[in-house]
Amino acid sequence: MSLEVVPIDAAHPDFVGLASGIDLTAPVSEQLACAIDAAMNRYAVLVFRGQPLTQDQQLVFARSLGPLDLGFKRVARPHARLAYQELADISNVDESGQIADRAHRRIVGNLANQLWHSDSSFQQPAARYSMLHAVVVPESGGETEYADMRAAWDALEPREQRELEGLEAEHYALHSRFLLGDTDYSDEQRNALPPVRWPLVREHAGSGRRHLFIGAHATHIADRTLAEGRVLLMDLLEHATARRFVYSHRWQPGDLVIWDNRCTLHRGRRHDLSVRRELRRATTVDIDRHAASQAEQLEPAHGVR
């Protein structure tokens, strides 16, 4: 069997591919990994249906695409409900396995996920691929939306594109939490991931396409007043997340969606917090997987059990 990908929407032939033809529980050869990379370079988002995965299977698949990222767990380690800290628990379930109370700290993280963002844009290197797997999903709500930052760049007027050239935005891990009133962090946590700067306009290493690089972790624009920079960031976000650039994924148990954080933004949508919702995410660092052994030396993978 070989990877087959078709556009999920014929009106957008180069954004979001429906992938089939492979079993994600089987070993991933270098040839298949390259085929996935090629599909990601074109579509930026791949949707796999009917692929129920254990935690171990999800991690093995994710590692085949590159070294894994811990992201926000460097700031605040969450409760250990899952077997591996390389898996992010995107759920409303508490330590006891029950639906978390609305006042539970992890609910703030869920709500922060409803802001348009790129995973781990607050660190250097940032994230490359995120792989989100659906375990339990509500009957309504809880979709995940993806916005194409390549198409958003292409749609800007030449004058607007010129104005953005050379500008950099600063990204900080706790910025989105602060926006939601979650400020109870120690100095050690606040300083665990110092702010980093990224160009507002980048070139995708795989496709060569230019794209915007913005989102909820961006705090301000360097060398601009705070007010001017934040208004520009808000204007760009409004433009880049217009419906014509967005795909909304309605989850089914067993779905796995991969997206490229370098050239997309994503957000979760509202759902009833009293209804169980469980997804698991693994994320790779934006390092070529052939350098994975070196990356593993810098950031060893450890299970929490």
SS3 letters across 36-98: HHHHHHHHCEEEECCCCCCHHHHHHHHHCCCCECCHHHHCCCCCCCCCECCCEEEECECCCCC
Of 128, 122, 127, 154, residue with least CA distance to 41: 128
Fill in the amino acid letter for 15.
F
Strand pairing report for 196-199 and 168-171: antiparallel
Which of the 8 DSSP states describes residue 303? B
**Main-chain dihedrals φ then ψ at residue 68, nearest 5 degrees:** -90, 150
Residues 203, 207, 209, 213: is their CA dihedral positive or negative? negative
Q: Please give the chain's pLDDT, 305 residues, in tens.
A: 699 999 999 889 999 999 999 999 999 999 999 999 999 999 999 999 999 999 999 999 999 999 999 877 777 665 678 889 899 999 999 888 899 888 887 788 888 999 999 999 999 999 999 999 999 999 999 999 999 999 999 999 999 999 999 999 999 999 999 999 989 889 999 998 899 999 999 999 999 999 999 999 999 999 999 999 999 999 999 999 999 999 999 999 999 999 999 999 999 999 999 999 999 999 999 998 876 554 454 454 444 33
| pTM score | 0.93
Tell me which H or E stretch contains 190: helix 187-191
Q: Which domains does the chain have, with CATH numbers?
A: 4-296 (3.60.130.10)
- Given a contact cutoff of 8 angstroms between Cβ atoms, the answer to whether 221 and 90 are in contact is no
